[in-house]
Amino acid sequence: MTYRNATVTDIEALHKVRMAVKENVLNNPALVTDADYKKYLTTDGKGWLCEINGIVTGFAIIDTSENNIWALFVHPDHEKKGIGKKLHDLMLNDHFSKSDHSLWLGTAPKTRAAYFYSKAGWKNLGIRSNGEIKFEMNATDWQNIQA
């Protein structure tokens, strides 16, 4: 497994992973465009990916303008290999090495993603107006988790 920064040349492979997931399915692919990926990989964020034998198996993207986790997805064929955890940790380590701003994300309740973030130490702030759980991680909590 190789982990590296994602670039705009990876967008097609990232979107393939995004469209393959079984949970948090993107029913309308037009809702997440190449322009969205490009924005978060260049001006408004940063991304990481995992490759196995040159094939992208997972990725994570942070929206640095909103301090939001925009994406963290692992292809179903590569789940339970620690890819999501490693991408998560790369993303948070990078963010909190540069900023003290808390991060937030939203995900559907009673999902593997909600369990993943709870287990990773994210604070559940309750249900948002769109029905998702809002999670938050601050720099102090992340440092304590890493210690």
- Structural domain boundaries in the chain: 2-146
What tokens does 58 get?
């997972």
User: Per-residue pLDDT tens for 77-101?
Assistant: 999 999 999 999 999 999 999 999 9
Report how far residue 86's alpha carbon sits from residue 28's, in angstroms, rounded to the nearest whole number. 28
Considering the entire predicted model, what is its pTM?
0.94
Contacts of 31 (CB under 8 A, 6+ apart): none
pLDDT by position in tens, the chain (length 147) = 999 999 999 999 999 999 999 888 777 777 899 999 999 999 999 999 999 999 999 999 999 999 999 999 999 999 999 999 999 999 999 999 999 999 999 999 999 999 999 999 999 999 999 999 999 999 999 999 998
d(CA 103, CA 87): 15
The domain made up of 2-146 is a member of CATH 3.60.15.10: no
Q: Name the strands in the sheet holding 123-127, side by side, starting at the edge strand that comes first in the sequence.
A: 2-5, 45-52, 55-63, 68-74, 103-107, 133-137, 123-127
